[in-house]
Every structure is written in C-alpha cells, then in structure tokens.
Amino acid sequence: MEQLRRLVQELALAGYQIDRSAYDYLKTMDEPEASTFAKNVLLSIGDKASTSHILSRQELLEISTHPLLEPPQVQASVARTIPAKQISARLEVLRDSSKEIGTGGTIDDFSHYFRDRFQKLSRAFRERPDSRDATSLAVALAQEQNKKVKFIAMVMEKRERQRKLFVQLDDLEDTATVLVSPEERAAYETAQKIPLDQVICVGGVRAKGDLFVAKEVLLPDIPDHKPHLAEEDVWAILLSDLHVGSKKFLSRELSRVFDWLNLKIGDPNQRAIAERTKYLVICGDIVDGIGIYPRQEHELAIVDLYQQYQEAAKYVGRIPDYIETVVIPGNHDPVRQALPQPPIPKNFGEPLYESRELVSLGNPAEVAFHGVRFLLHHGRSLDDVISSAPNVDFTQPEKAMRLQLQCRHLASEYGNRSSISPEKVDHLVIERVPDVFQSGHIHVVKYENYRGTQIINSGAWQAQTDYQKRVGLVPTPGILTALNLHTLQVRLINFIEPDSGKPQELAQQIPAY
Ligand SMILES: [Fe+2]
C-alpha cells in the first residue's frame, strides 16, 4: 500500500492521475512487484508524449512495458542519474595506529609511554601563545616565594579539602602540589574536569615547600580553526554500534538504511543525500560479540561469533559498490580490548571481508574523505570521561568528546575501565586537529561543532538491552547521521518510524546545541 501511495504521489508531481481501473490493478500487486512496476512507469512516462493525464489500467500497462524500458536500459538510465557514481573517491588513510602496535608491557615501556605523552602534549602547549613561555617544574620550584610561575606537568592525583582542590603534579623529573580555590573560578572549573594522567599548564604563584597557588589551569585544547571542506557536494554516512547477533539488534531498521542507500525508499531530499553518498563509516561494535558483559548470553540471538559476522555481512554487502566503506573495531568486536586496537581479524571477520571491499583499520584511526579529515574512535573511554567529569552524563556524549579534544587525548586516565597498552609511543594523543571527530559506544546520537571540529556520536542500531536498563542508559537507536562534506552540515534521519513508510527527518526533534 505504501508503494502504491508513493507511486500515486510521484505521478501527481509529474502531472498525472490514475483512474479507478488503474488503482484497482495496482492494489493487486505485492511490494516487490509494485516497486519494479512503479520504477518502470516513472522512468518511461516522459517518453510517451501522447499519454493522457488521467491514466487507465491499460495505459499504465502500456507505459510499463514500453520498449525503452527493457531491463538493461533501465539500469543504464538509473546509473546515469546517481551523482556519487560519477564522482571519484578521494579516500586517504592518514593514520592507522594498528600498524604501529608493538609488543609493549614492561615497566620500561610505561616510562617510554608517559614520556612520549608528556612531550607531545607539551608541544601542543608550546604552539599556544598563552603557554609558549611555560617552563619545567624545576624552574618553577627554583623561584622565590610569591613569584609568578607558569609550568607544564602531568596530573597524578586530585584531592578536595574544604572546597579547595589539591592537585599532585609530576613532570617526569620533579613533583609538586597545586592549590586551586573556587575563587579562581575558571581555573577551578577546569581543574575539576581534568582527568588523571592529563598534561596541563599551570599559571600561578610560588608558595612554600613544593606548593603553588593556581591562577589559571589550561588544557592543551584545539585551536579555533577553519575545517577542510570538500569542493564537491558529497556526503558521508556515519554508523556505529550495529550489534548484529543481539536480540535487540534492529534488523528491520538497518535494512531500511540499505533500502534507502539503494534508492528504494526516501523522499526526494533524502534520496538526494543517498545519491550523493560517497563514503560510509562503521565506527565499531559491528557485532554484539560474546562474553562482553555479565549475563550477555541471555540477550544473544546468535551465540557464535563467526555467524554474527555472517549475519552482519548480509547488511554490509548491500552498501552500493561506489561507496567507500571504512570499518574500525569496538569493544564488542573480537580484538584485544587495550587501545589502540588492531582491525577486526580475518578469522572471525571473513564473511564481512568477503561481502564487499572494505577499508578495515584499527581503533583509533584517521582518514580523509575528499580532503575532510576524520578522527575515528569507537569511544570506550567515554565511559571514564563521563564517570569522572562533573556535569557530563550519558545523554551528552558530545560533551565528553569535547573534553577529549580539549585534553588532546582519547583516554587520559591510565588504569580505568578503558585499558591502554603501554606502547613506546602514545597513539592516543590527538596530534592532528580533526575536521570531524566521530565516536559511538554510548548509543546516543548527538553532535556539536567545537572550534571548527564537527563532533558526532553516531548512536546505535540496537534497542535498549537489559544491561543498559540496569545501568540506566537510555539509547537513541535507529537514527542515522549523514554528514555533508562540503558544508559539514549534519542531517539526522530516523529509520525507526514504523508507520510513515519513509525515513523521518529529525532536525526539529533534536534540541539545538
Ligand atoms: Fe556499542
């Protein structure tokens, strides 16, 4: 019936109506038949100049079997009308940290790891005019009492006493304590949200012993910048957290995404996006995995990992072949949990890799689509950021991602829920300022522009699980994020709407940021 309604609407737009006989005939068709028929009629009606404007059953039949509409010619005609097919892909892998994963694991590696973090983030401070002249702790400690100081150090511990914050610092050579009082409001608010093991810059005065009193506390932050933009009007579709294999996996909704990408559903505006989609990202948690959280087995529809990927391949295989597709793993995929994670391995992911061509990278990864630079990170460490930073909760993953950009680090705190491999280099420092920063993991779609970087949390394709219910997480599944690479404009499309038959634009339903 939906197909029929749409055909009648589209014919009306083209200036045609149907009579009772045509209407009754169309009603007898099932969905696939009606779809093919409608496509044929709409493609050929313009070629039949003598057609009257009120179409009977007979006329519809004549049009749909017009000689110009033999299948190969229909396909050629459709192919010519898809702009993304004619646009050449410009996909660059800027960094795949999985290529740099070493053996790691010894005490020596820990000291290398933190030294590298310290040096990289110190460099970020030196690029800022307000912290270019910051010194080492040794220089600050050598100053006389009440002298002004500015230095760079790493946060080892934070304690609150009588509403004052005492921050223990270390710069790999010396240690010190900084007192941050609520009277210095900006410094106090920053100090409150700083994660442990984060490199910061402190401006203040020298007090007694190893103590300093802070006037300002700075995070490395990203500069306000003009993002790189694509010259052409092309789109990227950002997905994450499919969780294929879970009982709560939204198969129908995800299937509709691929119907839409294959131009089978959607209103003209939505179709225009699908026709100009050149890139697609799946930012981790392709499958639900096994043994990821307590009692997960009760929530699995497929209990075999290989079969979960077999099922996932049925969806991934439907991505049109002209769309470049990038995949990274999440914490539900069968790779090591410590960051950085290697790509999804061939032994489990085989069905996925056989379904179509994929650019399979580690987590995190950096890519450029048409010159627009993406930082892709599944986002497990967002749990840590949300649990430790004040005024950030699971409904605001974009705020937690903003803090990661301010920290210029994807998982500052070592030894919390997200494990970090002590590599010789810290691959989790955000050295290059991204134009787009995508994560998933939280299962809540949110986006905001921060200093020129488009932050996007791409939600999920899994309804609320019992586990999420227990921890109080309310997801927003079935909402697709589409990003225009020419403008960095985000469009949210809701595929969960069951009755309207077409995907629903959500721009009006999501609060402004
Ligand atoms: Fe997930």
| All domains in the chain, ordered by first residue | 2-80 (1.10.8.60), 129-218 (2.40.50.140), 224-505 (3.60.21.50)
Would you state the pLDDT for residue 32? 59
How far is the CA of 376 from the CAs of 69, 240, 367, in angstroms?
A: 44, 11, 8
Q: Measure 474 CA to ligand 1 centroid, in angstroms.
A: 13
CA distance 212 to 205: 6
pLDDT in tens, the chain (513 residues): 566 676 676 666 666 777 777 777 777 666 656 666 666 666 666 545 444 677 777 677 666 654 322 233 334 344 457 999 999 999 999 998 777 777 656 666 778 889 999 999 999 999 999 999 999 999 999 999 999 999 999 999 999 999 999 999 999 899 999 999 999 999 999 999 999 999 999 999 999 999 999 999 999 999 999 999 999 999 999 999 999 999 999 999 999 999 999 999 988 899 999 999 999 999 999 999 998 888 888 899 999 999 999 999 999 999 999 999 999 999 999 999 889 999 999 999 999 999 999 999 999 999 999 999 999 999 999 999 999 999 899 999 999 999 999 999 999 888 777 788 878 889 999 999 999 999 999 999 999 999 999 999 999 999 999 888 888 889 999 999 999 999 999 999 999 865 555 566 554 333 322
> What distance in angstroms lies between residue 443's CA and the mean position of ligand 1's atoms?
6
Q: What's the Rg (C-alpha) of the chain? A: 27
Alpha-carbon span 482 to 505, nearest angstrom: 11
Burial (0-12, 13-18, 19+ Cβ within 10 Å), 237: buried
CA of 159 to the centre of ligand 1 (A): 33
> 420 CA distance to ligand 1 centroid (A)?
19
Q: Are 401 and 382 in contact (CB under 8 A)?
A: yes
Contacts 24+ apart (CB under 8 A), 59-63: 59/22, 60/18, 60/22, 60/25, 60/26, 61/25
CA of 285 to the centre of ligand 1 (A): 5
Q: Please choose, from the candidates 121, 203, 191, the residue with its C-alpha nearest in 3D space to the C-alpha of residue 158.
A: 191
Using the mean position of ligand 1's atoms as its centre, give its distance from the Cα of residue 452 in Å.
27
Query: How far does residue 377's CA lie from ligand 1's centre (Å)?
Result: 12
CA of 81 relative to ligand 1 center, distance in Å: 36
Q: How far is the centre of ligand 1, averaged over its atoms, from the C-alpha of 491 (Å)?
A: 21
Ligand 1 geometric centre to CA of 460 (Å): 7
Q: In the prediction, which pLDDT does 499 show? A: 56
- pLDDT value of residue 513: 24
* Closest C-alpha among 33, 42, 37, 35 to residue 81: 42
Q: Reduce the DSSP state of residue 403 to 3 states and report it.
A: helix
How remote is the CA of residue 493 from the centroid of ligand 1, in Å?
19
CA–centroid distance, residue 283 to ligand 1 (Å): 9
Determine the distance separating the centroid of ligand 1 and the alpha carbon of 302, expressed in angstroms.
Answer: 16
Three-state DSSP class for residue 156: strand
Residue-level pLDDT at 467? 84
Question: In angstroms, what CA-CA distances link 112 with 91, 174, 341?
Answer: 33, 17, 19
Answer whether 210's CB lies under 8 Å from 177's CB.
Answer: yes
Q: Rounded to the nearest whole angstrom, what is the distance from the C-alpha of residue 331 to the centroid of ligand 1?
A: 7
Q: What is the pLDDT of residue 450?
A: 97
How much distance in Å is there from the Cα of 243 to the middle of ligand 1?
7
- Expressed in angstroms and rounded, the spacing between residue 395 Cα and the centre of ligand 1 is 15
What distance in angstroms lies between residue 20's CA and the mean position of ligand 1's atoms? 50
Q: Give the Cα separation of 470 and 461 in Å (integer).
A: 19
What angle, rounded to 10 degrees, do the helices at 20-27 and 57-64 form?
Answer: 60
CA angle (121 as vertex; 453, 145 as ends), nearest 5: 125
Joined together, the tokens standing for residue 478 give 């079935």
The beta strands (E) that lie in 133-276 are given as 148-161, 164-170, 175-180, 199-206, 211-218, 235-239
* Residue 83 CA, ligand 1 centroid: distance in Å: 33
The predicted structure's pLDDT at residue 69: 27
- What pLDDT does residue 295 have? 83
Alpha helices per DSSP H over 357-495 = 382-388, 397-407, 466-471
**Biggest distance spanned by C-alpha atoms of the chain:** 98
- Structural contact between residues 74 and 63, judged by C-beta atoms closer than 8 angstroms: no
CA of 473 to the centre of ligand 1 (A): 12
Residue 80 structure tokens: 């010519």
Q: How far is the CA of 403 from the centre of ligand 1 (A)?
A: 20
In this structure, the strands spanning 54-55 and 17-18 are parallel
Determine the Cα–Cα distance for residues 405 and 408; give it in Å rounded to an integer.
5
Show Cβ contacts of residue 368 under 8 Å, excluding neighbours closer than 6 positions. Answer: 90, 91, 92, 94, 228, 374
